Every structure is written in C-alpha cells, then in structure tokens.
C-alpha cells in the first residue's frame, strides 16, 4: 500500500481564542524577537508585547509578522501591572532559586509569558512582579537555552496543556 505525503497541512482550528500572550523585556537580537514571533504565530498567539528597540526581521518572522499584533512599550512594570489587573497570570521564563521546573508546571489558561533579555534575563525588579517563574532544565553547557529557543519550548508546553485554545 502506498501513501502520498503532502507537505503543509492546514493549521488546527482552535475551539476558542488563546488566552496566552508573550511579553518581552528588551531583547538584544532582532533575530530572537523574529523567531519568537514566528513560533508564537504557529501556537495561535494573537498578541506580543515588546519593550526597548524592538525591530522585526520579516524574513525570519514570515507569516507571523502579519498574524500577531505587536505592541511596543517603554518599560515593563506598568504593562505587567495592567495585565495582572486584566486577570493574566504573570509567568516568567527564568532560572532562579525558586523557579519551577517546566515539566511540573501547569500553565493557567490566561497566561502572560514574560521573557527576559538574552544576557541579563529578568531583572530582580521584574521578578518581584511575577506570579510564577518557570525554568527549562538543562543537562549540559551553557547553563540556559537561547531566549528564542526557550520561549518556543514554553509556548509548545502551554499548547500541549491547552490544545484546544
């Protein structure tokens, strides 16, 4: 029996809009931001909030650049306060003494995933504003994954836990 494989199945339909958004501290690399936008679009994320000099490389972000509303703000603390008032659980992606292994974390449906700078991570000021901090375990060097790669892993885990939206 022979099967013909076709590339690019249509995206899965969500039964409800995702209540997940990505919030980025000032990133050093436009490549990382563009990779995050592309992955977030694949996950059905509709909104990304950026701070700093956020610039998108449309060749890397591809269709995600048109599918996601990208907001830019000067600083994160007022944005995080507003998201908290709107009922989002503020979940930082960082390694700290109190962070939870992502393998054991249940993402709330209404999650704002807060991603830190590639070099400095999330500052103590930002960490103090978060509800939870999750980390992705590493088994070798360096001590952490690239910001875009870690964000993709966290987005995928959220979608695994909430596949219908």
133 pLDDT tier (thresholds 50, 70, 90): very high
SS3 label, residue 102: helix
- pLDDT class of 25 with cuts at 50, 70, 90: very high
Domains of the chain, by residue range, sit at: 20-161
Average pLDDT value for residue range 44-66: 92
Instruction: Answer yes or no: are the C-beta atoms of 113 and 23 closer than 8 Å.
Output: yes
pLDDT for the residue 83: 98
State the pLDDT confidence band at 53, using cuts at 50, 70 and 90: confident
Please compute the mean of the pLDDT values over residues 58-68 and round it to a whole number: 90
Which pLDDT belongs to residue 12? Answer: 86
**Rg from Cα positions in the chain:** 16
Q: What is the mean pLDDT of residues 21-49?
A: 96
What is residue 39's three-state secondary structure?
A: helix
Separation of alpha carbons 37 and 22, rounded Å = 9
CATH class of 20-161: alpha beta
**pLDDT confidence of residue 1:** 60
Confidence category of residue 2, pLDDT binned at 50, 70, 90: low
Percent of the chain with pLDDT strictly greater than 70: 99
């Amino acid at each position: 029996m022979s099967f013909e494989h076709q590339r690019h199945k249509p995206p899965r339909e969500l039964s409800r809009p995702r209540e997940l958004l990505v919030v980025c501290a000032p990133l050093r690399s436009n490549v990382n931001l563009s990779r995050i936008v592309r992955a977030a679009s694949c996950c059905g994320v509709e909104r990304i909030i950026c701070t700093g000099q956020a610039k998108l490389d449309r060749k890397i972000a591809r269709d995600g650049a048109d599918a996601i509303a990208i907001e830019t703000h000067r600083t994160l603390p007022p944005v995080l306060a507003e998201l908290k008032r709107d009922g989002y659980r503020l979940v930082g992606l960082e390694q700290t003494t109190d962070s939870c292994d992502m393998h054991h974390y249940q993402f709330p449906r209404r999650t704002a995933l807060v991603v830190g700078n590639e070099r400095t991570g999330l500052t103590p000021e930002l960490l103090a504003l978060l509800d939870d901090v999750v980390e992705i375990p590493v088994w070798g060097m360096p001590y952490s994954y690239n910001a875009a790669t870690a964000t993709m892993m966290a987005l995928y885990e959220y979608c695994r836990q909430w596949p219908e939206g």
